[in-house]
A and B are shown apart, each in its own frame.
Chain A
Amino acid sequence: MTMQSVGRPTTPNAVSSRPETLTGARGLLQDEPLIFELGGWDKTGVDLPEPELDALDLTGLLREEPINLPGLSEPEAMRHYVRLSQKNHAIDLAIYPLGSCTMKHNPRLNEKMARLPGFSDIHPLQPQSTVKGAIALMDQLAHWLKTLTGMPAVALTPKAGAHGELCGLLAIRAAHEARGDARKKVLAPKSAHGTNPATAAFVGYEVEEIDQTADGRVDLADLARKLGPDVAAIMVTNPNTCGLFERDIVEIARLTHEAGAYFYCDGANFNAIVGRVRPADLGVDAMHINLHKTFSTPHGGGGPGAGPVVFSEALAPHAPGPWIVQTPDGPRLDEDPVGDVGRMSAFHGQMGMYVRALSYMLSHGADGLRQVAEDAVLNANYIKARLGDLMTPAFEGPCMHEALFDDRWLAGTGITTLDFAKAMIDEGFHPMTMYFPLVVHGAMLIEPTETESRAELDRFIEALRLLAQAARAGDAERFQGAPFHAPLRRLDETLAARKPRLKWSPLNGDEAKKTLAAE
């Protein structure tokens, strides 16, 4: 062993065993309690002046019972939440290949722009004369969305993709009702996102499934059979959830319109075609655009999102407000428009997301956005090509922005799609979307997006190849118990659902752990 003059070793000892730590921590990874186990009941991390204690006017309305909220000083709060953050995977750490979710890089310029006080510190109801720039930004975003889709109208306010679906179907229902044509059904393929049938049911429609062809697309003959005077709309995702472009999309739209129904397109996968294909040219009547997917507003651990909806000429009169109207003084917001759908939410939608999305659009431009679609599709096909010999692609031919595999190649190994996904965690990767779409057994849906470099794609592919070879070689243990190296091992979801504990109580912590373990 080499030593410095003061005796400090400068090369590692040759010790090979790895004892468990005495505290349970693993290197930098701390076991972090809940704030309720950390904080002081009398502590606060915010310095406020002493208030005047005069609330006589509120006698009888004052809170008498304790709230039971612990407080932390700022250094404690920083440490607590930074430690928690270290237990999360993130797109800034590695590829996040969740199919259908479009986890792409989130440019920090967009964060900076959204935080300009002129956007972040303005009130939705301050006089419109003092927010002309904000309204102009909404107008500009609307222009980009309409131009990219070729659609004449857009409702900006929906707060997420599912909220956009609701907005689109409400407009469709309003359009039918305006003609006195009450229709009962919405058709959607079995491969649809769960939100499609959930939204249709919410709007009062019966949902009927459309069959799928052997090559993963809408079965035209089945669609034609099911279309009729009672069908209000079809909901089709394009590119679809198998990562395939619906080849017959124009015919699908034609048949739908012929039956007096509208074509709602789930735009979750717009990223694959942005700048290359305009939904208007496919015959779409309404489509939501997830700004948090195609236009890269951050997913933030599950929101906030934004789901503006573009509309065709036929549905435009039914788009919910607030509307942007052009006046000689520039664009204004009509906050109380006479429409038959009504308001989707209070105020004017997700302004913070609008700023980020427009910042993303201006950065990419018409040329960059087209390149986005091309690189997203190229990356997915590259993965499909390089894994196709070991794993089984669900469908032949080129895919769009995501590559779908099934679990045929795992047959006989005793390893499930879930096991394979959990083993990916040990290798440092977030798993792909699993068991969706429902039309493919043991589905593994990989969406790399355009913001992965060739090197990161190769690193990911190499890891998956090694895992696939291990699986085929019968190394089942590596998979069935995985993950072994994550902050936690597999969690007991059945237990969580059987006896739900949705908040901390003094009984949680160690005692609860014992009771839970005993069950």
Chain B
Amino acid sequence: MRYLPLTPDDRRDMLGVIGVKSVDELFIDVPVSARRAGLVDLPLHAGELEVERELGALAAQNRAAGQGPFFCGAGAYRHHVPASVDHIIQRSEFLTSYTPYQPEIAQGTLQYLFEFQTQVAALTGMEVANASMYDGSTGMTEAVMMAARITRRKKAIVSGGVHPHYTATLKTSAHVAGIAVADQPANLDAEEAVIQSIDPDTACVVVQTPNVFGTATDVSKIAEAAQAAGALLIVVVTETVSLGLLKSPGAMGADIVVCEGQSIGNGLNFGGPYVGLFATREKYMRQMPGRLCGETVDAEGRRGFVLTLSTREQHIRRDKATSNICTNSGLCALAFTIHMSLLGETGLRKLAQINHAKARQLAAVLSKVPGVEVLTKRYFNEFAVRLPAPAAAIVETLTGRGVIAGVPFSRLAPKAGMDDILLVAATETVTTADIEAFATALNGVLA
């Protein structure tokens, strides 16, 4: 077995040093009833070639996004990631290191986390950011829990524009935390409607921009209304590239910002692993979940970085911790940081403009297809269209014609009664030929 260095001679000698006759003696504490003499009923070991063949065959059954016209978004976006990003994250010292608990020999990890936190704070327009969450959806749940801790209130108002998976994830935890989730019906321009629902019990208002239908909103008025009632405004962003073009949530008055950071540095990966960005105001810093990296000095006065404020965390506070989270999404955060360092402000702004232009181009072409109505008025790189028949069936037919047309809204919310809505996204990876192929195929299907 290529991954096991001990030889039979090593094992024999080592058992001798320990003073036992066989390895079974080391398992003496296992109850007799639970000892298994034979092998479990699974295949025996296999060489690299065989494993590559088996997994390669499974991979070949999937249609990769890069194989043809592709327009899916809805919380996961296909962007071009520079080759150097994947090269760097595969360096042994990053890939095969642990959480930086020994800062003297983990400055590499700690420094990039500090850079990551700074980038996230800048991007979201907030004062402080943590060292990442599992993903955007779990980050939103943590944000609501944090708002409940700060306000000592137990109600979250969730806009109908929030990604239905995010709302569902929140409900899972809110149920046991005793937090009432007032989620509003799905709607293209759902944001302003939350204002009427704010009451003195409201801990937070959660809005997403651009929302799940692609609508970009200025949430300043919602921030004012929420804060006037003593509640916090949580802004969710599932397409982080949009922050290169749109007003930052911080500039619009957000108290907590949660983003899905996958778009920068990370591939689609069928939904994970991704990286949650989490930022807030300085006054709420000690209520934040997750790891924080801070600057300090060493015994000789040299600058260095450490994990800090760990008295919030489970390994110190146990049942009194701000969250049960133990890991972050380190390597995905590194990919984010490298990609962002390559882009810089200039590159990010340009990338965002290209995305927006592509989506405008796509919308212009699709709106000319008879029976298709582009619904979203102000969008970044994704918008909703109404089709003359259920979107899921049309997507399936278009798939047969080589076009992955987008995400039917019914797939996210089967009971919303919006079966004719299709969410389509266009990033910089979409070509004019892709857009034309989409329109041609759709014309063919609807004709």
Q: Do the two shown chains form a genuine complex with each other?
A: yes
Quick check: is A341 within 8 A (CB to CB) of the other chain?
yes
Please choose the segment from A93-101, A222-230, A256-264, A464-472 that sits at the chain B interface, where 4 or more of its residues have CB less than 8 A away.
A93-101
Given contact pairs A88-B108, A502-B128, A301 touches B269 in the complex (Cβ within 8 A): no
A384 to B125, CA, bound (A): 52
Q: Give which listed residue, A116, A194, A277, A301, contacts B315 with CB less than 8 A.
A: A194
Range of interface residues on B (Cβ < 8 Å): 35 or more
Q: Which residues of A contact B135 (CB under 8 A)?
A: 159, 345-346
A302 to B96, CA, bound (A): 10
Interface residues in A67-87 by Cβ distance below 8 A to B read: 67-72, 74, 77-78, 80-82, 84-87
Interface residues in A480-519 by Cβ distance below 8 A to B read: 481, 483, 486-493, 495-497, 500-504, 508-509, 512-513, 516-517
Instruction: Give chain B nearest CB distance to A91 CB in angstroms.
Output: 4
Q: Which residues of A contact B395 (CB under 8 A)?
A: 127
Q: Give which listed residue, A42, A341, A500, contacts B346 with CB less than 8 A.
A: A42
Interface residues in A426-481 by Cβ distance below 8 A to B read: 430-431, 436, 450-454, 456, 481
Contact A84 B62 (CB under 8 A): no
Given contact pairs A454-B14, A516-B297, A347 touches B314 in the complex (Cβ within 8 A): no
Quick check: is A61 within 8 A (CB to CB) of the other chain?
yes
Contact A343 B102 (CB under 8 A): no
In the complex formed, the residue of A with least CB distance to B273 is: A304
Instruction: Give chain A nearest CB distance to B388 CB in angstroms.
Output: 20
Contact A40 B344 (CB under 8 A): yes
A64 to B317, CA, bound (A): 42
Contact B343 A342 (CB under 8 A): no
Q: Which residues of A contact B315 (CB under 8 A)?
A: 193-195, 436
In the complex formed, the residue of A with least CB distance to B65 is: A121
Given contact pairs A77-B84, A303-B332, A347 touches B134 in the complex (Cβ within 8 A): no
Contact A55 B353 (CB under 8 A): yes
In the complex formed, the residue of A with least CB distance to B299 is: A489
Q: Which residues of B contact A487 (CB under 8 A)?
A: 104-105, 107
A454 to B16, CA, bound (A): 14
| Most chain A C-beta atoms within 10 Å of own C-beta, residue among B6, B58, B301, B344 | B344
Q: Give which listed residue, A39, A53, A335, A361, contacts B341 with CB less than 8 A.
A: A39
A496 to B294, CA, bound (A): 6
Q: Give which listed residue, A249, A346, A363, A500, contacts B285 with CB less than 8 A.
A: A500
Instruction: Give chain A nearest CB distance to B443 CB in angstroms.
Output: 20
Q: Give which listed residue, A249, A350, A488, contacts B272 with CB less than 8 A.
A: A350
Contact A282 B304 (CB under 8 A): no
Contact B346 A71 (CB under 8 A): yes
Given contact pairs A202-B324, A301-B99, A119 touches B177 in the complex (Cβ within 8 A): no
A109 to B50, CA, bound (A): 11
Quick check: is B248 within 8 A (CB to CB) of the other chain?
yes
Q: Which residues of B contact A400 (CB under 8 A)?
A: 26
Q: Which residues of B contact A71 (CB under 8 A)?
A: 341-347
Quick check: is B244 within 8 A (CB to CB) of the other chain?
yes
In the complex formed, the residue of B with least CB distance to A342 is: B172
Q: Which residues of B contact A247 (CB under 8 A)?
A: 29, 31
Given contact pairs A46-B342, A148-B42, A502 touches B292 in the complex (Cβ within 8 A): yes
| Most chain A C-beta atoms within 10 Å of own C-beta, residue among B23, B102, B125, B165 | B102
Please choose the segment from B69-77, B153-161, B182-190, B192-200 that sits at the chain A interface, where 4 or more of its residues have CB less than 8 A away.
B69-77
Q: Which residues of A contact B340 (CB under 8 A)?
A: 69
Contact B39 A370 (CB under 8 A): yes
Q: Which residues of B contact A302 (CB under 8 A)?
A: 98-100, 109, 131, 291, 327-328, 330
Instruction: Give chain B nearest CB distance to A379 CB in angstroms.
Output: 8
Contact B268 A122 (CB under 8 A): yes
Given contact pairs A132-B61, A489-B104, A502-B294, A113 touches B52 in the complex (Cβ within 8 A): yes
Q: Which residues of B contact A27 (CB under 8 A)?
A: none
Please choose the segment from A1-9, A10-18, A161-169, A405-413 that sits at the chain B interface, where 4 or more of its residues have CB less than 8 A away.
A161-169
Q: Which residues of B contact A107 (CB under 8 A)?
A: 3
Given contact pairs A62-B247, A122-B63, A304 touches B342 in the complex (Cβ within 8 A): no
Contact A63 B247 (CB under 8 A): yes
Contact A483 B84 (CB under 8 A): no
Q: Mask for B377-421, Cβ within 8 A of A = 1, else 0?
A: 110100000000000000110010000100100011010000000
Quick check: is B21 within 8 A (CB to CB) of the other chain?
no
Q: Which residues of B contact A351 (CB under 8 A)?
A: 269-272
Q: Mask for A183-226, Cβ within 8 A of B = 1, else 0?
A: 00000000001110111111110010000000000000000000
Q: Give which listed residue, A117, A366, A493, contacts B64 with CB less than 8 A.
A: A117
Q: Which residues of A contact B102 (CB under 8 A)?
A: 89, 421, 425, 430-431
In the complex formed, the residue of B with least CB distance to A121 is: B64
Given contact pairs A278-B36, A500-B285, A121 touches B29 in the complex (Cβ within 8 A): no
Contact A516 B296 (CB under 8 A): yes
Quick check: is B4 within 8 A (CB to CB) of the other chain?
yes
Contact A493 B308 (CB under 8 A): yes
Interface residues in A323-371 by Cβ distance below 8 A to B read: 335-336, 341-353, 355, 358-359, 361-371
Contact A517 B297 (CB under 8 A): yes
Quick check: is B122 within 8 A (CB to CB) of the other chain?
yes
Contact A365 B272 (CB under 8 A): no
Q: Mask for B318-358, Cβ within 8 A of A = 1, else 0?
A: 11110111111111101000101111111111110110110
Q: Which residues of A contact B412 (CB under 8 A)?
A: 125
Q: Which residues of A contact B61 (CB under 8 A)?
A: 118, 131-134, 136
Quick check: is A111 within 8 A (CB to CB) of the other chain?
yes
Quick check: is B117 within 8 A (CB to CB) of the other chain?
yes
Quick check: is A21 within 8 A (CB to CB) of the other chain?
no
Q: Which residues of A contact B122 (CB under 8 A)?
A: 67-69
Q: Which residues of A contact B66 (CB under 8 A)?
A: 117, 121
A137 to B135, CA, bound (A): 22
Q: Which residues of A contact B292 (CB under 8 A)?
A: 500, 502
Instruction: Give chain A nearest CB distance to B34 CB in angstroms.
Output: 4
Q: Which residues of B contact A122 (CB under 8 A)?
A: 62-65, 268-270
Contact B27 A245 (CB under 8 A): yes
Q: Mask for B123-143, Cβ within 8 A of A = 1, else 0?
A: 101001101101111100000
Contact B18 A497 (CB under 8 A): no
Q: Give which listed residue, A70, A198, A300, contacts B319 with CB less than 8 A.
A: A198
Q: Which residues of B contact A179 (CB under 8 A)?
A: none
Contact B248 A65 (CB under 8 A): yes
Contact B55 A503 (CB under 8 A): no
Contact A109 B51 (CB under 8 A): yes
Contact B36 A277 (CB under 8 A): yes
Q: Which residues of B contact A88 (CB under 8 A)?
A: 93-94, 97, 100, 105-109
Instruction: Give chain A nearest CB distance to B351 CB in angstroms.
Output: 6
A160 to B135, CA, bound (A): 11
A502 to B112, CA, bound (A): 12
Contact A198 B39 (CB under 8 A): no
Contact A277 B94 (CB under 8 A): no
Q: Which residues of A contact B311 (CB under 8 A)?
A: 497
Quick check: is A393 within 8 A (CB to CB) of the other chain?
no
Contact B62 A109 (CB under 8 A): no
A301 to B123, CA, bound (A): 23
Q: Which residues of A contact B108 (CB under 8 A)?
A: 84-88, 301
Instruction: Give chain A nearest CB distance to B76 CB in angstroms.
Output: 6
A133 to B58, CA, bound (A): 4
Quick check: is A60 within 8 A (CB to CB) of the other chain?
yes
Q: Mask for A107-146, Cβ within 8 A of B = 1, else 0?
A: 1010111111111111111110111111011001000100
A430 to B378, CA, bound (A): 53
Beyond A67-B348, A363-B3, A496-B295, 13 extra complex contacts between A and B, CB < 8 Å: A48-B354, A52-B357, A72-B342, A98-B98, A124-B76, A159-B134, A195-B324, A204-B178, A343-B169, A379-B6, A382-B18, A488-B103, A502-B295
User: What are 15 A-B pairs at a CB distance below 8 A?
Assistant: A35-B115, A45-B342, A67-B244, A89-B106, A103-B98, A130-B404, A194-B316, A277-B35, A281-B33, A300-B331, A301-B97, A378-B15, A398-B20, A491-B306, A497-B308
Q: Give the top 10 A-B pairs by smallest Cβ distance, nearest first.
A: A71-B344, A118-B59, A347-B271, A133-B61, A300-B331, A124-B271, A304-B273, A92-B92, A44-B347, A365-B45
